[in-house]
């Protein structure tokens, strides 16, 4: 589908370029997959269910995610073989995040060599000590370092609300075609949705 940028009259007799509705729809986040975890060891999204190269970016939105082990973290890992295996070497990933707690306190954590991208720490497992937010990753089909950013809210082991914002990379150039979200220990439950952003048409 090609947008020819038709000229139309705008405010005060001026000219503007307004794309048609079908073009705008093609630029929106498109729902691709859903997952409901209940005592799951991981949630996997395999990108080979459609043409991965058709999408420039992906977004995972999640809500009411709770871990079974008090103080566990939540991780991201990537795959280059359609989810048959996920990279988990001790120095496969780098990550960094900033956080602010409602107490209020703030700080940051990171690693230059880790077996996963870490998106939070010390999550509680009591009732309502849940996590929600978004993870974005960009052009994973390119044979380059995988790039992800995330923005989440969570209650920690003391029941204190916090916000975490960070980024991570798989530090080997590769065509990533599956993404796994998992707790550092135990299991997790919650709702997950995957969306894709189509390449420009």
Domains of the chain by residue range: 30-198
Q: Report d(CA 56, CA 32) in Å as an integer.
A: 14
What DSSP assignment string belongs to 90-123? TTSEEEEEEEEETTTEEEEEEEEEESSEE---SB
Stretch 141-148: mean pLDDT: 95
**Element at 172 (helix H, strand E):** strand 161-174
- Beta-bridge partner residues of 9: 15
Query: CB 164: neighbour CB atoms within 10 A?
Result: 24
13 token code pair: 């007799």
Q: Thinking of the domain 30-198, which architecture would CATH place it in?
A: Sandwich (2.60)
Cβ neighbourhood burial of 58 (10 Å; 0-12, 13-18, 19+): buried
pTM of the model: 0.85
**First-to-final CA distance of the chain:** 6
Residue 156: CA count within 13 A, CB half-sphere: 15
Q: Which of the pair, 32 or 26, is modelled with greater confidence?
A: 32
Q: Tokens 């960070």 map to which residue? A: 166
Distances (CA, A) of 34 to 100, 149, 177, 190: 29, 20, 17, 11
Q: Report d(CA 52, CA 113) in Å as an integer.
A: 28
For 149-191, the pLDDT digits (tens) are: 999 999 999 999 999 999 999 999 999 999 999 999 999 999 9
- The size of the chain, in residues, is 201
pLDDT at 1: 38
């Amino acid at each position: 589908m090609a947008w020819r940028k038709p000229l139309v009259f705008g405010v005060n007799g001026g000219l503007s370029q307004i794309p048609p509705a079908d073009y705008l729809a093609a630029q929106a986040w498109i729902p691709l997959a859903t997952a409901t975890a209940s005592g799951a060891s991981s949630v996997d999204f395999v990108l080979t269910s459609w043409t991965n190269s058709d999408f420039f970016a992906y977004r995972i939105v999640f809500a009411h995610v709770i871990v079974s082990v008090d103080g566990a973290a939540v991780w991201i890992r990537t795959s280059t073989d359609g989810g048959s295996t996920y990279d988990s070497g001790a120095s496969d990933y780098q990550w960094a995040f900033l956080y602010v707690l409602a107490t209020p306190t703030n700080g940051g954590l990171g690693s230059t060599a880790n077996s996963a991208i870490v998106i939070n720490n010390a999550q509680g497992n009591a009732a309502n000590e849940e996590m929600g937010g978004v993870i974005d990753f960009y052009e994973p089909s390119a044979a380059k370092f995988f790039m992800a950013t995330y923005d989440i809210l969570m209650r920690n082991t003391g029941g204190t609300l916090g916000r975490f914002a960070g980024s991570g990379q798989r530090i080997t150039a590769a065509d990533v075609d599956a993404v796994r979200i998992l707790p550092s220990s135990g299991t997790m439950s919650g709702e997950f949705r995957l969306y894709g952003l189509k390449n420009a048409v």
